[in-house]
Structure 1
Amino acid sequence: MLEHDSHSAELPHEAPSPPTGLDAVNQQLAAAYPELSPQLKLAAGYVLEHPVEIAFQSIRKSANAARVTASTLVRLAKRLGFDSYEQFREVFQSAVQAGPVELSGRASNLRTLASQTDDQVFLDVGDAAFDNIGRLFTADNQARVRDAAMMLLEAEKIAVVGFRDTFACAYHFAYVGRIAMPNIQLVRGQEGGLLTELACFGEADVVVAFGFEPYCAETMRALEIARAAGVKPIVITDTLRSPLVPGAAITFTVANATPHFFPSILSAITLIEVLLAECVAFGPDDLVDNVASFESRMRAMGAYVSNE
């Protein structure tokens, strides 16, 4: 692999606003391709031919596959007008995730990966998982977690909402959270009961809502009801373009890219653990007492099996 590429004959340095769709990206790359330096041609060729891999692979893996350095991919993205490689990659993620055949398309891609080597799927899922988690632990998110924990601790009641692919997130937050904070309530919305379940929440309360593309109508409806009652929303979603974001008091965007056929919830689950740990660490002593009491009750009721 060449470690350096010429800075001559590249895309113009005074790039216009970045293209907003995959078709526009491909058209600009194709038009500029003859004038690109050798290394940028390798990068552009890989981008044009492997949109799914660009969407879900780490930059290191894509660079290795294209036989260029990671900095070359960054330079290609910036020459197109993007501020960062991640912004560039979001165009590909949005395109791949769009449409009614999203899940079947990803399932087919899994079989393609599996045919390449015996362990390609295993390694690619691992790469995506580490990349997703790495993007969660930033200084900005650290401050945001502290603010969200303070909001949760000050709330009289906490509603937790998440349906379909994010129900596991909502359930985990409610189940684990209630051990220390009994004022947490999981909203299930069964049999059209959203309005009834949320009727008891008001201005002194908080709703924690989970939602990834494709966004569930029930989650949107729950947020509308909560906001109308003055409940303060904490939203955990996949992008700031999410329809769950408007009106949120605090928003977390978590990476959910994966070569698997369904969006990853790993980062969301990790964020839940961080938020609840922060609440216990900085909350009143009662929260620690609640955890100890819960464990004692479970053992007394025979909920755990001894390994002795």
Structure 2
Amino acid sequence: MSMREQAHLAGVSHTTMMRLARWLDLDRYEDMRSIYAKALRTSAESPLPERRQDGDGSYSTVGVVAGTLAAEIARLGECANAMQLTAAASVLAESRNLFSLGLRAEHPVAQHFAYTLSRLGRQAVVLDAAGGLGIDALRGVGKGDVVLAVGIEPYCRATIETARQAARQGVAVVAITDSSVSPLARMAKASVIVISNPQSFFKSIAPALVASEILAKLIAAKSGLNVYEVVKEIERQLAELDVFWKR
């Protein structure tokens, strides 16, 4: 594709494609396109399973996947996406009770979000359906409470239904999702849209995971707490519990 065609599909300006090429230490976008075309030809001539057996040429697959993921993650820092993250963090930071929801492939994102927040002095309850009791945590919730729901296509039905139940009870939904018209985005008060389309056999959760970390840090910054002192105290408590291995 031409630079403008690719930029249009990616939802960015053509100058962003030029900056990407320069970030990769290339003079022009055409140089990047030529390298990518060569990698595709290599893939076509030598299928992935065969390359894995002897390792020859696998660098091209590694480079394509890693480069694609890096671009998708870097996109979170662009102005429009940074505004989405800031708006979402504002809703989450003002919550009375905070919940984290993500099932199947997205469960690590929801769990990591809650864990990161806990290390920064804020708690989030994970609606992980352990033992079928996940939704029980929504008893008595309502206006003032917020749930961060993570959903990447194909969307998990249980995630959508749990988020809908929370919304019916007056809970504000903040979504990390891959489309502005996804089921979660349509019910969300604020959404963070991530791209999840690496050159691989599955959709990556890496951009969603990074988005959750950014949100956790923004929430901590908006909390008004002395985050440095909070983290220092949490680390002291964990040291007393001998949680982490020491040399």
Query: TM-score band (shorter)?
Result: 0.7 to 0.9
Q: Distance in 1 between matches of 2:78 and 2:116?
A: 24
Q: What corresponds to 1:242 in structure 2? A: 182
Amino acid of the structure 1 residue aligned with 2:9: Y
* Separation of aligned partners in 1, 2:90 and 2:228: 16
Structure 2 counterpart of 1:280 = 220
1:109, CA displacement in angstroms? Answer: 6.5
Q: Share of identical aligned residues, percent?
A: 25
Per the TM alignment, residue 275 of structure 1 is displaced from its structure 2 partner at its CA by 1.1
Native 8 Å contact 2:114 2:123 kept in 1: no
Q: Does residue 155 in structure 1 map to residue 95 in structure 2?
A: yes
Q: Which runs of 5+ in 2 are unaligned?
A: 12-45
User: Structure 1 stretches of 5 or more lacking a match?
Assistant: 1-42, 44-69, 78-82, 88-107
Q: Give the alignment of 1:121-270 within 5 angstroms.
A: 121-270=61-210
Shift of 1:290: 3.2
Contact 1:110–1:259 (Cα < 8 Å) also in 2 = no
Question: Residues 218-272 of structure 1, C-alpha deviation per residue, up to 9 Å, x if partnerless?
Answer: 1011111100100000000111231111121001110111123221111111111
Distance 1:157 1:113 in 2: 50
The alignment status of 1:84 with 2:8, answered yes or no, reads yes
Residues 1:296 and 2:236 are matched in the alignment: yes
Distance 2:65 2:139 in 1: 41
2:8 partner amino acid: S
Using a 3 Å threshold, how does the CA distance of structure 1 residues 245 and 112 change in structure 2: closer, same or farther? Answer: farther
Aligned residues between the structures: 211
Could you say which residue in structure 1 is the equivalent of 2:211? Answer: 271
Deviations 1:156-193 (A, max 9, x none): 11110000000010010011112234431111113432
CA shift for structure 1 position 200 = 3.3
Larger Rg: 1
Which whole-Å deviations, capped at 9, do the CAs of 1:100-144 have from their partners, x for residues lacking one? xxxxxxxx9743775982312211111111121122111112222
How many angstroms apart in 2 are the aligned matches of 1:110 and 1:177? 39
Change (3 A) 1:113 1:172: same
Normalising by structure 2, report the TM-score.
Answer: 0.77
Aligned residue for 1:244, secondary structure, equals helix
Once residues 138 and 166 of structure 2 are traced to their aligned partners in structure 1, the CA distance between those partners, rounded to angstroms, is 7
Question: 1:167 aligns to what SS in structure 2?
Answer: helix
Query: C-alpha distance in 2, partners of 1:214/1:112?
Result: 29
Tell me the amino acid that sits aligned with residue 144 of structure 2. A
CA 1:166–1:109 in structure 2 vs 1: closer, same or farther (change >3 Å)?
Answer: farther
In structure 1, what is the Cα distance between the partners aligned to 2:56 and 2:147?
45
Q: Is the 8 A contact 2:88 2:191 kept in 1?
A: no
Q: Calculate the TM-score normalised by the size of structure 1.
A: 0.62
Per the alignment, residue 30 of structure 2 pairs with none
Q: Is the 8 A contact 2:92 2:174 kept in 1?
A: no
**Structure 2 Cα separation of the partners of residues 84 and 166 of structure 1:** 28
Relative distance call for 1:299 and 1:204 in structure 2 (3 A) is: same
Residue identity in the other structure for 2:208: A
Give the secondary-structure state (helix, strand or coil) at the position aligned to 1:210: strand
State the secondary structure of the residue aligned to 2:242. Answer: coil
